[in-house]
């Protein structure tokens, strides 16, 4: 199923889109090819979406484009649930995942405008019980630090309290758990992406605003901008016009993971808990591109000072080789909930969102007065990467072969071109791994059931100070790992070569974890450490931050 909506902008004079779909003197001077005319640009966007859907077999996708303050194009393909016959609509709710972070930052910015807090307030001013592992970090951490990934913790530290869902961790558990997470680097010394401190940011907003985070986000962000279809907190599925289900790839194709009748409030709401439809996400884009966007009281929704603060490079990020080669980028940094960079000589403000079976992207090109949104209800990271890159190039390079590196008209071949570049990257990485002497640590030997000799002393109950209790006990003729608070982190313990691992029941192979058991010295408990079997697995499987001690025998 597909649907393309092209509003009357194509029949108007090109003035509406002139800021984007014309050659600027600066870009003409450095040799870039002229960007397409409006009709060509619209065809290029539609062609890129079609190419991505065909190449990756996406279950459903919604894409929208804003130019000059107006929604100029909407592309809808596929179904909310594969095989349901229910088409994706512009109001179908998708998980926007980490695109929630800019909304949390915007809520805090609104509170700064209202005088309820300041960016340099110590976090403990608003949350007296807040603690990091090191006292000086607790004392020095400011509200701004919660948003820019400079805590010194490793990537995804503490994420096992958030995912996989469902679990029984609370926001209080997450905030308290930070005191036990071991930093890898010094505070403010480098960038490393985290989610847990955004949860603290949501609790700071709640303390300053005198209401729960979800109430404040609806009041300060959704309602003023007319994003009333968005959902946060607890809500019923039948209250929404349509809900896209996440899909994971299985042997037989896409496997949907549905919700119950009620979507529960979740601890990670401030880091990635919002669901919105395309219409509302395009309202979000318009609000950021136009500083005159009014709030409910008719005044600007966000002050110029806070917009500038959000788009200030607060924390340097790595400038990757891909960014240099694909986009001719010169810098990369993190603002308040936004990633900042440059593409073909123009500024880019963007973020992505990733949750199991859901991918999103929001891209703003402020100097071109343009932006777009991508929402996908499947595990399709590569599809998002190549489509976001293709759409960006339609705006910034017109598909020019020298700078965009792809077909120059109608978007033909853009997705295939960038997919080919990703294939080449993987081939080079595989060759490098082979040169190092094999397939790498991500490819364990054949697995088999554990024998009694393998597990001497291992069965028992173990506790980590932030993750809580797990059991490794005999069941069904073997040994089984079970987490008390995160039931999906359960599965059989197997032997692979000279090591043991957990093959989790309901998670993909990328979630498998090594178990490294250390018998206790006299008077000391046995210890258990974990690590990713696949070193390239999502950093949210932060097993390396766990430090279990044995607390007793199996029941």
Residues 6+ positions from 337 with CB-CB distance below 8 Å: 101, 102, 103, 104, 105, 106, 147, 310, 351
Determine the average pLDDT of the residues in 66-73: 96
Rounded-to-integer distance, Cα 421 and Cα 241, Å: 39
Least confident of 347-351, 449-453, 523-527: 449-453
Q: Which residues of 118-132 are buried (b: 16+ CB within 10 A; e: fewer)?
A: ebebbbeebbeebbb
Question: How far apart are alpha carbons 274 and 95 in whole angstroms?
Answer: 6
The pLDDT value given to residue 223: 96
pLDDT for position 2: 64
Give the rounded percent of residues in the chain with a pLDDT score beyond 70. 88
Structure tokens given for 17: 């889109």
User: Which pLDDT band holds residue 456 (cuts at 50, 70, 90)?
Assistant: confident
Residues sharing a CB contact under 8 Å with residue 196, sequence separation 6 or more, in sequence order: 153, 157, 158, 159, 161, 162, 174, 177, 178, 181, 271
Bridge-partner residues for 62, per DSSP?
76, 375
pLDDT digits (tens, 9 = 90+) for 83-105: 999 999 999 999 999 999 999 99
Q: Is 78 left (phi over 0), alpha (psi -120 to 50) or beta?
A: left
Tokens 């909310």 — which residue?
80
Q: What is the 3-state secondary structure (H, E, C) of 12-48?
A: CCHHHHCCCCCCCHHHHHCCCCCCCCHHHHHHHHHHH
Three-class HEC string of 449-496: ECCHHHHCCCCEEEEECCCEEEEEEEECCEEEEEECCCCCCEEEEEEE
- Note whether 393 and 402 are within 8 A (CB): no
Can you tell me the distance from the alpha carbon of 302 to that of 107, in angstroms, rounded to the nearest whole number? Answer: 10
Cα gap 294→225, rounded to integer Å: 8
* pLDDT at residue 437 greater than cutoff 50: yes
Task: Choose the weakest-confidence range: 121-125, 183-187, 253-257.
Answer: 253-257
- pLDDT tens, position by position, 14-51: 333 333 333 333 333 344 434 456 677 899 999 999 99
Cα–Cα separations (whole angstroms), residue 475 to 29, 459, 479: 71, 11, 6
Strands 275-276, 315-316: pairing kind? unpaired
Is residue 302 within 8 Å of 316, Cβ to Cβ?
no
What is the reported pLDDT for 543?
Answer: 97
Instruction: Tell me how far apart the alpha carbons of residues 401 and 407 are, in angstroms, rounded to a whole number.
Output: 6
Q: Helices 38-56 and 381-396 sit at what angle, rounded to 10 degrees?
A: 170
| pLDDT for position 17 | 35
The pLDDT value given to residue 33: 38
Q: Band of the pLDDT at 405, cuts 50, 70, 90?
A: very low
Task: Tell me the pLDDT band of 7, cut-offs 50, 70 and 90.
Answer: very low
Residue 293: Cβ within 10 Å count? 18
Over the stretch 157-169, which tens digit does the pLDDT of each residue have? 999 999 998 899 9
* Residue 397 confidence (pLDDT) above 70: yes
Q: Using omega within 30 degrees of 0 as the cis cutoff, is the peptide bond preceding 498 cis?
A: no
Q: What is the DSSP letter of 277?
A: -
pLDDT for 210: 98
Fold that domain 94-246+261-383 belongs to in CATH: Beta-lactamase (3.40.710)
Could you tell me which residues are beta bridge partners of residue 316? Answer: 333
Share of the chain above pLDDT 90, in %: 77
Q: Is pLDDT at 430 greater than 90 in this prediction?
A: no
Model confidence band, residue 398 (pLDDT cutoffs 50, 70, 90): low
Edge-to-edge strands, sheet with 315-316: 2-5, 70-78, 60-67, 370-376, 358-365, 346-355, 339-343, 332-334, 315-316
Contact 148, 155 (CB under 8 A): no
Task: Please report the pLDDT score of residue 3 as a whole number.
Answer: 66
Q: How many CB atoms lie within 10 A of CB 400?
A: 19
pLDDT in the model for residue 412 = 58
Residue 261 has pLDDT above 70, yes or no: yes
Q: Residue 12: what pLDDT?
A: 29
Q: In the prediction, which pLDDT does 158 show?
A: 97
| Residue carrying structure tokens 């788009």 | 311
The CA-to-CA distance between both ends of the chain, in Å, stands at 54
Res. 72: pLDDT tops 60: yes
Q: Which of 528, 432, 519 is nearest to 472 (CA)?
A: 528
pLDDT confidence of residue 288: 97
pLDDT-based confidence at 507, cuts 50/70/90? Answer: confident
Predicted pLDDT of residue 276: 98
pLDDT at residue 432 above 90? Answer: no
Domain-by-domain residue ranges, the chain?
Answer: 2-46+57-84, 94-246+261-383, 447-552
Q: Is the pLDDT of residue 116 over 70?
A: yes
Return the number of other C-beta atoms located less than 10 Å from residue 555's C-beta. Answer: 6
Question: Average pLDDT, stretch 277-285?
Answer: 98
**Angstrom distance (rounded) from CA 491 to CA 494:** 9
In sequence order, what E strands does 366-417 have? 370-376
Q: What is the mean pLDDT of residues 68-83?
A: 97
Distance, in Å, from the CA atom of 282 to the CA atom of 73, rounded to the nearest integer, reads: 10
Before 166, cis peptide (omega within 30)? Answer: yes
pLDDT of residue 337: 98
Q: Is the dihedral of CA 203, 207, 210, 216 positive or negative?
A: negative
Mean pLDDT confidence for 486-492:
96
Averaged pLDDT score across all residues of the chain: 89
The residue among 50, 36, 26, 10 whose CA lies nearest residue 393 is 36
Q: What angle, 0 to 180 degrees and rounded to 10, lies between the N-to-C axes of helices 414-435 and 38-56?
A: 40
User: What would the mean pLDDT of 281-300 be, rounded to a whole number?
Assistant: 88
């Amino acid at each position: 199923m597909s649907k393309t909506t092209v509003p009357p902008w194509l029949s108007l004079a090109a003035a509406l889109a002139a800021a984007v779909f014309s050659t600027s003197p600066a870009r003409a001077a450095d040799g870039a090819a002229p960007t397409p005319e409006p009709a060509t640009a619209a065809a290029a966007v539609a062609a890129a979406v079609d190419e991505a859907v065909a190449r990756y077999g996406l279950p459903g996708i919604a894409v929208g484009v804003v130019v000059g303050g107006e929604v100029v194009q909407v592309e809808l393909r596929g179904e909310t649930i594969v095989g349901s016959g229910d088409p994706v609509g512009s109001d179908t709710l998708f998980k926007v995942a980490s695109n929630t972070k800019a909304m949390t930052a915007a809520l805090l910015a609104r509170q700064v405008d209202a005088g309820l807090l300041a960016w340099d307030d110590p976090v403990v001013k608003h949350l007296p019980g807040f603690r990091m592992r090191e006292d000086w970090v607790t004392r020095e951490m400011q509200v701004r630090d919660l948003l820019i990934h400079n805590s010194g913790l490793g990537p995804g530290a503490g994420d096992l309290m958030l995912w996989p869902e469902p679990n029984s961790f609370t926001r209080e558990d997450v905030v308290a758990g930070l005191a036990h997470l071991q930093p890898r680097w010094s505070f403010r010394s480098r960038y490393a992406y985290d989610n847990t401190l955004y949860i603290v940011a949501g609790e700071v907003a709640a303390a300053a605003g005198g209401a729960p985070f979800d109430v404040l986000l609806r009041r300060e962000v959704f309602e003023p901008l007319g994003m009333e279809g968005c959902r946060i907190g607890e809500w019923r599925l039948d209250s929404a016009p349509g809900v896209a289900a996440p899909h994971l790839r299985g042997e037989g194709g896409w496997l949907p993971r549905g919700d119950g009748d009620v979507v529960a409030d979740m601890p990670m709401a401030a880091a990635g808990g919002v669901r919105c439809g395309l219409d509302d996400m395009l309202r979000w884009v318009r609000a950021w591109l136009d500083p005159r966007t009014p709030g409910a009281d008719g005044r600007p929704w966000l002050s110029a000072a806070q917009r500038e603060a959000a788009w200030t490079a607060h924390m340097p990020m790595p400038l990757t080789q891909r960014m240099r080669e694909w986009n001719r980028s010169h810098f990369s940094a993190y603002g308040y909930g936004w990633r900042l960079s440059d593409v073909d000589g123009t500024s880019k403000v963007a973020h992505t969102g990733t949750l199991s079976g859901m991918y999103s992207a929001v891209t703003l090109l402020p100097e071109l007065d343009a932006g777009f949104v991508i929402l996908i209800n499947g595990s399709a990271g590569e599809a998002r990467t190549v489509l976001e890159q293709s759409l960006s190039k339609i705006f910034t390079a017109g598909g020019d072969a020298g700078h965009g590196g792809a077909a120059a008209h109608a978007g033909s071949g853009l997705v295939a071109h960038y997919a080919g570049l990703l294939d080449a990257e993987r081939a080079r990485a595989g060759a490098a791994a082979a040169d190092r002497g094999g397939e790498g640590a991500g490819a364990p030997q054949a697995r088999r059931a554990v024998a009694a000799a393998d597990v001497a002393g291992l069965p028992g109950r173990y506790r980590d100070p932030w993750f809580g209790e797990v059991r490794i006990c005999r069941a069904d003729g073997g040994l089984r790992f079970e987490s008390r608070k995160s039931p999906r982190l359960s599965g059989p313990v197997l032997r692979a070569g000279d090591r043991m691992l957990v093959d989790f029941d309901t998670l993909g192979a990328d979630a498998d974890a090594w178990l490294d058991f250390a018998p206790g010295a006299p008077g000391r408990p046995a210890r258990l450490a974990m690590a990713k079997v696949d070193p390239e697995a999502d950093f949210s499987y932060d097993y390396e931050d766990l430090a279990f001690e044995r607390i007793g025998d199996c029941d």
